[in-house]
Structure 1
Amino acid sequence: MKNIFSRLTSSGKSSDRRDFLRNAGLGGLSLGLAFDGQHDQEMEFITQKVSRDSKPSELRITDMRVAVLNGVPFSSPIIRIDTNQGLVGWGEVRDGASANYALMLKSRLLGKNPCNVEQIFKQIKQFGGQSRAAGGVCGVEMALWDLAGKAYNVPAYQLLGGKYRDFIRLYADTPESNTYEGFAENMKKRRDQGYTFLKMDFGIGMLADQPGMLVNANNWSVKQQWNDRESGKLGNYANTKHPFTRIQVTKKGLDRLVEHVGKVRDIVGYDTPLAADHFGHFDVNTAIQIGKAMEPFRLAWLEDLVPWFYTDQWKQITDAIETPTLTGEDIYLKEGFIKLIDAKAIDMIHPDLASSGGLLETKKIGDYAEEKGIPMAMHFAGSPISMMANVHCAAATENFVALEHHGVDVAGWEDLVTGMRPIVEKGFVKVPEKPGLGVELNEDVAKKFLKKGATWFAPTDTWNTKDSADREWS
């Protein structure tokens, strides 16, 4: 269009320009001819509705702020990155992590072009660690892809190489109940919601305080798997790595677990994949015993039987049982996954994008696993912003199986964002085609979830100044 206009304007024939505008069907824009003979003003007038905000090469980060939401389903700090062109990028620190993990990165971001995502990621990834300590780096990386997509007017998956699928399958936890009859009723609700992949929790916590089912459990707070503030006589159970508790399951305890899972499997049926998670803290021998006991029920996988970094123990378990093994939600960066994959220690990988390194690093993890014939499920427990980051990554990764959704029963969860409604439909998410992540924070609704005592995207100027040398080599 520019070349055509240059030829018309260089001819000096006003009638040619009028004919062009009329024939091109730009009705109403011919009013620009009021500037006849002033071609720069004319072009500015007729393109006045064209957005000039997105000039990717000139885009710069000017600010970053955080608001911590609670109950979505857990605590989730939401990141907002502002730019000199009015574009806003949204990201999310992993559930249960500190907003400070992101704020400490602000001085490394100011003045940078957010479209250079991988370059920035390589500069800040040293400030992430395993599990929640990765939350700041990963949340920032999400927001950078959101900005890059908006700047280039394409969805994030397109920047990752395009998509393999249009719909992302979700898996959901099975709702708990005090009775199997109540559980069956809850399961009917899940089916009515359209979920075609489910996960359940069972383990030694349900055997605690029952006589004859566990060995060496009386002095541990076995029911407190996640409470790192409650210590027993032998120490803090939540923070004691699995092999060191020396808790064992008796034959009576194994029979009780088999009875429980069998009843659940009968209710769920065998047409629906059913995975299992959260077994408690015990050694590799007990893990193998439980794994063998579960083989008749054809579970989709057994998750996190021992900590992810015990590669040799994972290989022992995987080699000993027939049910697929899976781990990875607390691994930061691809190297930890590569070690497990190369050792043939697990059957499936399970990155949490908000810990594993963000969209691009998680795709690299998935791609490496795919080359080795390993499928990828994805862990997720946050707001719709983090979900959309997962959705774009899952769409762009060939070996993806299913994405976890922890917020199924959170009232108002889908209202936390605008730009996509519904988000979840019959257990699937349609991959968005809007630029970036495809959603914007709905501030009116999100404020209702603001964590008590937290501030709403307050100024963060105290984090503006870099006060450390970051180079990792000499």
Structure 2
Amino acid sequence: GRQGGGVSGVEVALWDLAGKAYGVPVYQLLGGKFRDGVRLYCDTDAHGKGDGRAMGQALKARLAKGFTFLKMDLGASLLFDVEGALSAPLGFLDQFKAAWRTAETRQASPQPQSAERRREEEVLHIPHPFAGLQLTEKGLDWLEGYVAEVRSVIGPEVPLAIDHLGHLNVESLIRLGRRLEKYHLAWLEDPVPWQYTDQYARLSRAVAIPICTGEDIYLKENFRPLLERGGVSVIHPDVLTAGGMLETKKIADMAAEYGVPVALHMAESPVGCLAAAHVAVAIENFLALEFHAADVAWWSDLAAGLPEPFIRDGFIYPPDRPGLGIDDLNDEVLREHLHPGIPGLWEPTDGWNETWAHDRL
């Protein structure tokens, strides 16, 4: 999964070099185009949006920018301060909330991890079925009301996907899913860790909302059980997690045989974004590509040679230029936005060798 990022990044770089060597866009090397434009779905997290109307207004601002597909967070973390909304072993919920909030304020860094941070990570890495966390009727009412408020602001027509449901068991997810069916959601994403194929199959059969996972899955063979068992209605691979561009295309082609569309996960720089876009135009069953940088004014300045404007009416268009279509990286902009825990640009990456990933493997 995330630990395959190095392999995936090298694979993307090699496709860029191959495209430049042959003088053709990478999408042509992947078999050619099914479409010109790549629809983006705009992701919006729940930070600072304590009620559904506030989230609805944030999503409505995305629509005003031309995005045609939306996603928002919804889950147990929204209920941490709602008394009586969650049931858990006494004392565990306070421990879990403290670890969650500490992790929210800390960005990824290759610095050595302290014993305290490892203890926090152990709490957050408990697989969902083992956390003992359940929604109460009050919690179900609150979350349903939140979604109803969002829909009252953005209307019924735009697709709305749901992410970050939290460490809930399948029973709570089924109860929540049935409550939310009337709001015709685009999908429920990563409800349980991807390894639990039988739980995905059970959830998919119990709830009339598409179920989606895949951003943590490495290589085609690990997607196959979910497709064979009917555990997913949408798959969600990431080019920089799944093994690279060709592997992602193979995954998508396999999903097409099961009638399953592909929404690509993407929370990356313009390099990763264009790599995903070249894959997106080259697969038949593409649905939408994730986009997190709608509020980051300098994001497209990280690379030189990008189309202007980069996003047009909620779509991006991979350049008809050799390779990925990027001339170079912009070191000046990169240096300006370095993580505080990283001392300089293009430093050795040995520190990442001892950093925990989020794979639960």
TM-score (norm 2): 0.86
CA spacing shift, 1:321–1:181, aligned 2, 3 Å? closer
CA distance in 2, matches of 1:283, 1:178: 24
Q: Percent identity?
A: 47
> Aligned equivalents of 2:84 and 2:330: distance in 1?
52
CA distance in 2: counterparts of 1:335 and 1:225, whole angstroms = 32
Measured in 2, the distance between the counterparts of 1:181 and 1:205 equals: 17
Unpaired segments ≥5 residues, structure 1: 1-129, 463-474
In structure 1, what is the Cα distance between the partners aligned to 2:298 and 2:332? 12
Worse-matched range after superposition: 201-210 or 392-401 = 201-210
1:357 aligns with 2:238: no
Give the aligned residue type for 1:165.
R
Matches within 5 A, 1:5-404: 130=1, 132-174=2-44, 176=46, 177-178=49-50, 180-216=52-88, 218-220=91-93, 221-223=95-97, 224-225=99-100, 227=103, 229=117, 231=119, 236-404=122-290
**Structure number with bigger Rg:** 1
Give 1:454 shift.
3.5
Q: State the superposition RMSD in angstroms.
A: 2.1
Mapped contact 1:312–1:345 kept (Cα < 8 A): yes
Q: Of 339, 349, 353, which aligns to 1:451?
A: 339
Q: Are 2:52 and 2:146, in contact at CA under 8 Å, matched by a contact in 1?
A: no
Task: Specify the SS of the correspondent of 1:403.
Answer: strand
Q: Is the 8 A contact 1:208 1:222 kept in 2?
A: no
How far the C-alpha of 1:284 sits from its partner, in A, is 1.2
| Alpha carbons 1:394, 1:400 under 8 Å: kept | yes
Query: What SS does the corresponding residue of 1:447 show, helix, strand or coil?
Result: helix
Q: Does 1:429 align with 2:327?
A: no
Contact 2:79 2:139 in 1 (8 A): yes
Structure 1 residues 185 and 222: CA distance shift in structure 2, 3 A:
same
Structure 2 gaps of 5+ residues are: 104-115, 351-361
Alignment deviations for residues 37-82 of structure 1 (CA, whole Å, 9 cap, x no partner): xxxxxxxxxxxxxxxxxxxxxxxxxxxxxxxxxxxxxxxxxxxxxx
1:299 deviates by: 0.2
Tell me if the contact between 1:243 and 1:282 (Cα under 8 Å) persists in the aligned partners. Answer: yes
Which whole-Å CA distance do the structure 1 matches of 2:285 and 2:248 have between them? 12
For the residue of structure 1 that corresponds to 2:255, the secondary structure is helix
Instruction: Judge conservation of contact 1:205–1:222 (CA < 8 Å) in 2.
Output: no
Give how far 1:330 is off. 0.1
Please give the alpha-carbon distance, in whole angstroms, between the structure 2 residues aligned to 1:250 and 1:181: 23
8 Å Cα contact 2:60-2:153 kept in structure 1 = no
SS at match of 1:386: helix
Which of 1 and 2 has higher RCO (CA within 8 Å, sep 6+)? 2
Q: CA distance change for structure 1 residues 175 and 447 in 2, over 3 Å: closer, same or farther?
A: same
Aligned pair count?
329
Q: Separation in 1 of the partners of 2:57 and 2:234?
A: 31
**TM-score of the pair, normalised by structure 1:** 0.66
* Alpha-carbon distance in structure 2 between the residues aligned to 1:288 and 1:459: 46
Question: Closer, same or farther in 2 for the Cα pair 1:301/1:144, shift >3 Å?
Answer: same
